Amino acid sequence: MNKLIQIAVGMMGAAFTSGAYAAWETNLTKGVTDISHEVYDLHMLVLYVCIAIGVLVFGAMIYSMIYHRKSKGHKAATFHESTKAEIAWTIVPVFILVALAIPAAKALIKMEDSSNADLTILVTGYQWKWQYEYPEEGISFFSNLASDSREASARDSGIDPATVDNYLLEVDNPLVIPVGKKVRFLFTSNDVNHGWWVPDFAVKKDAIPGFINDMWANVNEPGIYRGQCAELCGKDHGFMPIVVIAKEESEYNEWVEQQLASAKETEAAANKTWDMASLMEQGEKVYTTSCVACHQAGGQGIPGVFPAITGSAIATGDVAGHLDTIMNGRPGTAMQAFAGQLNDADVAAVTTYQRNGLGNSVGDMVQPSDVKALR
Amino acid sequence: MNAHVADTHEHHGPEKGLMRWITTTNHKDIGSLYLWFSLIMFLIGGVMALIIRAELFQPGLQFVDPQFFNSMTTMHALIMIFGALMPAFVGLANWMIPMMIGAPDMALPRMNNWSFWILPFAGTLLVATLFVEGGAPASGWTMYPPLVLQTGAAFPMLIFSVHLLGFSSIMGSINIIATIMNLRAPGMTYMKMPLFVWTWFITAYLLIATMPVLAGAVTMLLTDKYFATSFFDAAGGGDPVMFQHIFWFFGHPEVYILILPAFGIVSQIIPTFARKPLFGYSSMVYATASIAFLSFIVWAHHMFTVGMPVAAELFFMMATMLIAVPTGVKVFNWVSTMWRGSMTFETPMLFAIGFVMMFTIGGFSGLMMAMTPIDFQYHDTYFIVAHFHYVLVPGAIFSVMAAVYYWLPKWTGNMYDESLGKFHFWISTIFVNILFFPQHFVGLAGMPRRIPDYSVQFTDFNMISTVGAFGFGLSQLLFVYIIIKTVRGGEKATDQVWEGAEGLEWTLSSPPEYHTFTVQPDVK
Ligand SMILES: [Cu+2]
């Protein structure tokens, strides 16, 4: 009951102090780009127009319901047309609409002009994660839902989402961009349609397999901006958030250097020969970020949708067949080709892990060099 | 032979028992079948909505898994649109159009029997997908590829069910058009037809024009999945976006198919209880026709984020905004009909006024969404969910309820319980707003639609919304009770039923004979 009262009071409060605290946020964000400000202003403009028309129409209705009722002895008039009135309420709305359409068209043309960008980032949607590539800098990485959110979101996890930082809005590897630069995003998808949306940038575009869309943002203030996949993309559609960190240019450049250095390290690691324990350890990590959404934590899969790995004829059979499934996927199913997503060491590790973990015990190992040979 | 059969039927009442309903060619029987079917589907779809809202009561997953959640959103929409709303309107058309235009029955009574009896099979097929391997379709009712192609054993059932539903609608529409064109009573010119007849006339053309398009689109999905075509597969030279264009070329007129008959109903009811003729009859007809026309050239506003040329986005934005004009005309006409009337507020009038107000709220959010640059923010959020539920629940569904209260005394010969009816209206209205209004807020604040779990800042409004959902859902049990009670008895209704009602249906007895207007009346 207390909760109910709280809710009722909160709702009234929210209506008047919109945005006083985040939980009762009732309006569109203003965002942090010039475009998002323009979009916000347009939103408020059309909202006020609607409210004004609403007051007139509902006002007339309510007045009439109060005064023109039979119980008050009101006698019905007999008029049933008025050419003048009818022309007026056809023409006046047209003018209002034109007045709304002009600024909207201007804003739209600006939003769609992604020429002369300072930086281009390719965003690829996957079931259920994002890949970010910086073609000029040579950086590429995947961005998955943060593991604490994933754990808490499991059914009956026993973890209260309120205790998780940025529940469902946190990722392992956020996208990093410089402020004050025109950043052009190219969108595509590896499997089904996704939608890349960051409300603070007023950027939402579908990522569609086989096609490339674009949109751009020029962020004014450094900060962390969060969004989510907007286009239904299957089971974990609600679990592929977007986090963008906008940094001052110097900090951004540092970040780029770091990324390039750590990519070299990983490459070196891939060339050595691994022992069983480290393969299993690394394999479990890869499995929990890349495979668990479908094949499930214990490897049991979801009957009829995603096959089990535990006891799977493929995962306990011939290594070549197992590697082939993982690297090339199964076209036409949700099983993606991981050759392009994981490096040699990770493929080797996850394959080894599937063969010797999750209730399987084949006993053999796959080395990065075996994977390299198949590329 | 046919003439002979028809002859013997005229002198007998209905057959006895179950066979009456299976073999019936009587428009009243078939109308009732449609309406009962629709009510059952409404309850099934409603339970699914409650499962959705229960899961969304708080963050985290409590009741269902994400895949099943997606099945629920998909099935809820398909069942409510194709199982509850469309059959409800066809049922009303069956009952009322012959009685309103002074016709003895529908023009094609045997086909009428078929159009109905396909439905239970289509509906069963659809609901049965819940029990097959891989679960029910979970790709959204819009069935976008490539996602929909990941559906398991339910996939062909879904496609076949859509085909059957399409057949049923097309046959129903042909029948309605044939009836209106050929069976009007002498003197019932087109511009004298009641607006419900007019709106259905136009709706029937929309159905005939668009259902085959949907059938084509889903057939292409079928061949993409099983026969190695690549209509929608970029890797094979196809285009997944093309599906969206084809789907919404059907889908946008479809939303008007769900609302034009509602406009018709409300245009019947408001004059009755305002005791004043409908304001601007002919502009109502022209507005309906313009809306129907515009509905064919605005489809891409459902897919502004799909990546279209700016010119196309501008075109679809402006065409969409233009729909506000004829829609506004309708609302202004209804208000003018009420203006200086002598109003009473029986249940049908309450639902009709509720319709006008809450449909208009949905219309406002529609205008906002028409504006492409801001739609980039609204698209695929709960703001959209709030919008289309405002036009479909306190919009279309309220109109069906208004119609049921308005004509139930005519159909059954018994008055429904007025105070229960009013109570039903008030609790429905209060809960439906508690249910859907907060969804505007969470949508603007950034909550995407079709997600089973959300980040914690959306919790409070979702809780409110869920409370509203259960309240609204339970209120509908009262509706079922009122209907059953009225069918079984109650205060006898007069033939006129409502003091201010005008039209041929009110010249008949309450309940009407099994066969009415076997001699057509003369309309002056
Ligand atoms: Cu996605």
Q: Do A81 and B134 touch (CB under 8 A)?
A: no
Q: Nearest-CA neighbor of A198 among A239, A232, A229?
A: A229
What is the distance in angstroms between the Cα of A333 and the nearest Cα belonging to chain B? Answer: 6
What interface predicted TM-score (ipTM) does this complex get? 0.89
Identify from B55, B151, B336, B502 which residue to disrupt to test chain A contact, counting A C-beta atoms within 10 A and taking the largest count. B336
Contact present, A314 and A322 (Cβ < 8 Å): yes
Cα of A128 vs centre of ligand 1, distance in Å, is 6
Q: Look up the pTM and report it.
A: 0.88
> What angle in degrees, to the nearest 10, is found between the helix axes of A344-356 and A276-286?
100
Q: Do B446 and A227 touch (CB under 8 A)?
A: yes
- Tokens 């973890």 label which residue? A159
Q: Do B310 and A112 touch (CB under 8 A)?
A: yes
Cα–Cα distance, A329 to A331 (Å, whole number): 6
Mean local confidence (pLDDT), A71-83: 84
pLDDT value, residue B490: 87
Q: In chain A, which residue ranges form alpha helices assigned H by DSSP? A: 2-16, 34-67, 83-111, 147-153, 249-271, 276-286, 292-295, 319-328, 344-356, 368-374
Classified as helix, coil or strand, B102 is coil
pLDDT value, residue B5: 42
Q: Which two tokens stand for residue B509?
A: 């007895």
End-to-end CA separation in angstroms for chain B: 35
Q: Please give the positions of B annotated as active site.
A: 76, 105, 141, 168-169, 252, 254, 256, 267, 301-302, 327, 330, 449
Q: Does A99 touch chain B (CB under 8 A)?
A: no
Count chain A–chain B contacts defined by CB atoms under 8 A: 318
If one compares A26 and A55, the residue with the highest pLDDT of the two is: A55
Cα of A193 vs centre of ligand 1, distance in Å, is 7
Contact present, A169 and A197 (Cβ < 8 Å): no
Cα–Cα distance, A85 to A323 (Å, whole number): 75
Q: Do B307 and A213 touch (CB under 8 A)?
A: yes
pLDDT tens string, chain B, 524 residues long: the values are: 344 444 444 455 677 788 888 889 999 999 999 999 999 999 999 999 999 999 999 999 999 999 999 999 999 999 999 999 999 999 999 999 999 999 999 999 999 999 999 999 999 999 999 999 888 999 999 999 999 999 989 999 999 999 999 999 999 999 999 999 999 999 999 999 999 999 999 999 999 999 999 999 999 999 999 998 999 998 889 999 999 999 999 999 999 999 999 999 999 999 999 999 999 999 999 999 999 999 999 999 999 999 999 999 999 999 999 999 999 999 999 999 999 999 999 999 999 999 999 999 999 999 999 999 999 999 999 999 999 999 999 999 999 999 999 999 999 999 999 999 999 999 999 999 999 999 999 999 999 999 999 999 999 999 999 999 999 999 999 999 999 999 998 899 999 999 999 999 999 998 999 999 988 888 87
pLDDT value, residue A79: 84
pLDDT tens, position by position, A284-300: 989 988 888 889 888 99
* Burial grade of B53 (CB within 10 A; 0-12, 13-18, 19 or more): buried
pLDDT tens, position by position, A326-355: 999 887 788 988 888 888 889 999 999 999
Backbone angle region of A235, left / alpha / beta, with phi > 0 → left and psi within -120 to 50 → alpha:
alpha
DSSP labels for B261-281? HHHHHHHHHHHHHHTSPPTTH
Share of chain A above pLDDT 90, in %: 56
Q: Which of A58, A192, A206 has the CB atom closest to B146's CB atom?
A: A192
- Tokens 């490459």 label which residue? A267
What is the distance in angstroms between the Cα of A1 and the nearest Cα belonging to chain B? Answer: 13
Cα–Cα distance, B91 to B94 (Å, whole number): 5
Q: Which residues of A touch B435 (CB under 8 A)?
A: none
- Residue A295 half-sphere exposure, CB side, CA atoms within 13 Å? 23
What is the distance in angstroms between the Cα of A2 and the nearest Cα belonging to chain B? Answer: 13
Contact present, A298 and A358 (Cβ < 8 Å): yes
Q: Which residues of A touch B283 (CB under 8 A)?
A: 81, 86
pLDDT tens, position by position, A297-309: 889 988 878 899 9
What is the distance in angstroms between the Cα of B283 and the nearest Cα belonging to chain A? Answer: 8
pLDDT at A20 over 50: no
Contacts of A95 (CB under 8 A, 6+ apart): none
What is the set of domains in chain B, with CATH numbers?
29-507 (1.20.210.10)
Identify from A160, A208, A215 which residue to disrupt to test chain B contact, counting B C-beta atoms within 10 A and taking the largest count. A208
What is the distance in angstroms between the Cα of B40 and the nearest Cα belonging to chain A? Answer: 29
Q: Do A81 and B281 touch (CB under 8 A)?
A: yes
Q: Do A64 and B338 touch (CB under 8 A)?
A: yes
Classified as helix, coil or strand, A207 is strand
pLDDT value, residue A23: 55
Share of chain A above pLDDT 70, in %: 94
pLDDT tens, position by position, A210-268: 999 999 999 999 999 999 999 999 999 999 999 999 999 999 999 999 999 888 887 77
Cα of A195 vs centre of ligand 1, distance in Å, is 6
What is the distance in angstroms between the Cα of A272 and the nearest Cα belonging to chain B? Answer: 37
Q: Do A61 and B353 touch (CB under 8 A)?
A: yes
Identify from A35, A80, A124, A243 which residue to disrupt to test chain B contact, counting B C-beta atoms within 10 A and taking the largest count. A80
Give the residue from chain A lying closest to B321, CA to CA: A97
Q: Do A161 and B280 touch (CB under 8 A)?
A: no
Identify from B195, B367, B440 which residue to disrupt to test chain A contact, counting A C-beta atoms within 10 A and taking the largest count. B367
Q: How many residues does chain B have?
A: 524
Cα–Cα distance, B289 to B124 (Å, whole number): 35
DSSP labels for B49-64? HHHHHHHTTSSS--S-
Residues linked to residue B139 through DSSP beta bridges, in sequence order: none
Nearest-10 Cα torsion for B340, B343, B347, B350: 30
pLDDT tens, position by position, B175-187: 999 999 999 999 9
Q: Does A25 touch chain B (CB under 8 A)?
A: yes
Q: Nearest-CA neighbor of A249 among A214, A215, A219, A216?
A: A219
What is the set of domains in chain A, with CATH numbers?
25-68+82-113 (1.10.287), 119-268 (2.60.40.420), 273-374 (1.10.760.10)
Q: Do A80 and B279 touch (CB under 8 A)?
A: yes
Average pLDDT, chain A: 88
Cα of A292 vs centre of ligand 1, distance in Å, is 16
Contact present, B26 and B514 (Cβ < 8 Å): yes
pLDDT value, residue A339: 86
Q: Do B306 and A64 touch (CB under 8 A)?
A: no
pLDDT value, residue B10: 47
